[in-house]
Structure 1
Amino acid sequence: MASLNQNGGDFEFTKELVQALMHEKFGDKANGKELAEYVKDLKDCTMKWYEETEKAHFLEEKRLQTFLDFTKKKGE
């Protein structure tokens, strides 16, 4: 998987990967505007996924805490 780490080869690999993906997505007609829109869409999708994941983790923690509280009360 490509890294966004801009040290040495990682940066070059990431740059080449982005160029290959652009070519795959847009062909030889790729331009900055299309790339910006595509990156914005990817960012929006990533943020939505992150927010949903965070919400799921929060609900799971809340459910676990409720279970632990119930177990503690039952043991008293």
Structure 2
Amino acid sequence: MKVHVDAGRCQGHTLCAMIAPDSFVLSDVDGCASAVSELVAPDQQELVIEAARSCPEQAITVDESIPPSTSPRNGQREKMGTTS
């Protein structure tokens, strides 16, 4: 599973980080969220889906077409670059 936060839509409501704190990080500059990793660890998938559904700006997209076996295991996440 992959997750993406649209920086242009995110308004920094912080719900995603409250629901899935291991999958989303908030910017110190503008408070907007970004994904910790594009690929979602299997143990975080349900929380990431809940976070996406809870986003008032619909800034989070989830691509469930990636099979769980190809997603990183907890602790093996790759860091994504953040945009400002």
Normalised to the residue count of structure 1, the TM-score between the two structures is 0.26
**1 or 2 for the larger relative contact order (CA 8 Å, sep ≥6)?**
2
Determine which structure has more spread, i.e. the larger CA radius of gyration.
1
Of Structure 1 and Structure 2, the greater strand share is in 2
TM-score by length of 2: 0.24
Higher helix share: 1
